[in-house]
Amino acid sequence: MKQTAPGVLAPPSGRAPATDPPPILLDPVLADPGAASLIEPAIASPVDPATASFRALARQVRAIGLLDRRPGYYRVKITLTLVAFFASWALLVLVGNSWTALAVAPLIGMLFTQLGFIGHDAGHNQVFCSRRRNRVLGLIVGNALIGLSFGWWVPKHNAHHAHPNEVGRDPDIGEGIAWAATDRAATDQTGTTDQTGTTDQTGTTDQTGTTAGPVALWLTRWQAPLFFPLMLLRSGGMHVLGIQRLAQRRDHASAVEAALIIAHAALYLSAVFWVLSPVKALAFIAIQQAVFSVYLGISFAPNHKGMPIIESGSSAGFARRQVITARNIRGGPFTTFMLGGLNRQIEHHLFPSMPRPNLRRVQALVRDFCVATDLGYCEESFAGSFRLIVDGLSDAAAAAAHQRAG
């Protein structure tokens, strides 16, 4: 049964310090309950009543071993995923220069996303105890196998975890596709791509008062019908943004990442154009990347879109901001497999370094905690989550149009 959080906006007084997230987001409250100030502002008043309860929950979770690594699970998971990945490329070679080869493209696109889920777990230090080994794994599956910059994505994603749905601090709010980057200042508060359903993201000006440009206005107006079509551009935008970040950083780590991405591009294009004629190869690439984009989009989209927005500078505690901005997706093992464990988003946000298979085991404890602290526990079906997202986008577009007219 779906429960929504009452009192979704955090207490208005107090302001969180502008502290950048660490390179790899750990669980400061879990590592040391007294270290909660790394994420939560150390203020005397108001005190979030959920904070003490979450510290007790964190100690309980650590005591029963749910934060311990699961090397056996990840050995099997990574091995099977890699075997399937390389087998799919072998299948392409076996099919040869035929239009039938286009049927292999969706399979490779889906395996790109499954590798992305492993990279996500590595980025949260879920796989190994060593940060270095997690980084190496992330570079292999991210840069080398799917061509996305792991070094760009990790700090961006950690900033999202530290300040989910917080205006001005969550990089996932208002982050547009690459070709709209010149209109970025205007899209930061439009909610055209990443967040929906609140007036905080439907205005036509950014935080500095800049008037929205024509691209932002058009996207805002048509954001509901464009939601699914724009998913086709997701992987392309991530490729471009990652490469732009690497071009701005001229250090050894960036050089290594760039070399791996270049190697990926060379091997990927060589394999496709070696097996297929140019026309078939271009069609194969388009289908494969489209499936990768859409699968990635529909896996991450239900997590936070259409959920409450945290006001900039809010004094909300760590647990409160993680719970009220996240949505779980109901389902069994198949749902967990297809969504890479992201269907238990509330548990993941409360314990980001918890290995994926342990999220199911902690779910009952987290649900009880959320109900006891009156935070609510939002859980929807997969289809229902997208109905809420599209409805929220439609409402956001209507609110923006009304604001402009006013």
pLDDT by 10-residue block (mean), the chain, 406 residues: 38 33 41 38 56 95 97 98 98 96 97 98 97 97 96 94 90 54 34 34 38 73 82 84 88 94 97 97 97 94 89 86 96 96 97 97 97 95 91 80 73
Record the tokens describing residue 319, joined without a space: 């647990």
pLDDT in the model for residue 219: 79
**Domain boundaries of the chain, sorted by first residue:** 71-163+224-301
Amino acid in the structure at residue 84: A
Record the tokens describing residue 19, joined without a space: 């502290």
**With contact defined as beta carbons under 8 Å apart, do 394 and 194 qualify?**
no
What are phi and psi for residue 191, nearest 5 degrees? 70, 25
**Is 0.85 surpassed by the pTM of this model?**
no
Q: Mapping DSSP to helix (H, G, I), strand (E, B) and coil, where does residue 175 land?
A: coil
| Sign, CA torsion 75/81/86/90 | positive
Amino acid in the structure at residue 313: G
pLDDT in the model for residue 73: 98
pLDDT in the model for residue 348: 98
- Per-position DSSP letters for 342-395, written without gaps between them: TT-HHHHHHSTTS-GGGHHHHHHHHHHHHHHTT----EE-HHHHHHHHHHHHHH
Amino acid in the structure at residue 49: P
Kindly state the DSSP code that residue 205 receives in the 8-state scheme: B
Q: Which residues contact 29 (CB under 8 A, 6 or more apart)?
A: 35, 36, 39, 54, 55, 58, 318
What are phi and psi for residue 322, nearest 5 degrees? -75, -40
Q: How many CA atoms lie within 13 A of 133 on its CB side?
A: 9
Q: Which residues contact 399 (CB under 8 A, 6 or more apart)?
A: 199, 202
pLDDT in the model for residue 28: 45
pLDDT in the model for residue 402: 75
Q: Mapping DSSP to helix (H, G, I), strand (E, B) and coil, where does residue 329 land?
A: strand
pLDDT in the model for residue 406: 64
Give dist(CA 242, CA 306) in Å, integer. 26
**With contact defined as beta carbons under 8 Å apart, do 379 and 329 qualify?**
yes
Q: By C-alpha distance, which of 405, 404, 399, 406 is closest to 211? A: 404
pLDDT in the model for residue 174: 57
> Helix 150-162 to helix 104-123 angle, to the nearest 10 degrees?
60
Q: Where are the alpha helices (DSSP H) in 101-191?
A: 104-123, 131-138, 150-162, 184-187
pLDDT in the model for residue 30: 46
